Amino acid sequence: MKNIAVFASGSGSNAENLIRYFNDSAMIRVAVILSNKPDAGVHERAERLGVPSFAFTNVEFNEGALILQKLSEYKTHFIVLAGFLLRISADIIRAYPGRMINIHPSLLPAYGGKGMYGDYVHKAVVAAGETRTGITVHYVNERYDEGAVIFQEDCPVLPLDTADDVAAKVHELEYAYYPRVIEELLSRI
């Protein structure tokens, strides 16, 4: 069994999708959820689905020791970021080389970097008059959204689409493809 740790900062819809996707797998499971926000919706989702979740402070996250301890406690093979807003410390990256990925709601390198997440990305895409957007799954490194690209999928942005319309399309791509990309990557480890 290969254990995934999911890092999340928000409501946890992608985390829930991953838990449900791997729920019946004999090879992969979401073992733990870690969040920098004690009031994040991801904790309620995790509890409802029977997955332990923990919150930590930004200081604890930057120091890394407590996070690495939790990852070890849950025999983590792979880390998946799902709406996680903090930059990952070098200690955690070193502990999981090539075994930590993120999903970003645009076709990187466009609309990436610090402060570009969620609705900020979708609003920027609409404001720029883009005709395509999508998702990017990439490895995590020390810089926001600059790790090597693993997978991209796109969708149209129609002339009358709002940021909410774009968000809905992008979420569909995330839910459809992120679990499959993770499954493929873990089949190689």
Return the CA Rg of the chain. 16
* Collapsed DSSP state (helix, strand, coil) of residue 25: coil
Question: How far, in Å, are 2, 18, 58, 154 from residue 105 at the CA level?
Answer: 26, 16, 24, 10
Q: Which of 104, 122, 138, 171 is catalytic?
A: 104
Burial of 43 (0-12, 13-18, 19+ CB in 10 A): buried
Is 104 an annotated catalytic residue? yes
Residues marked active site are found at 104
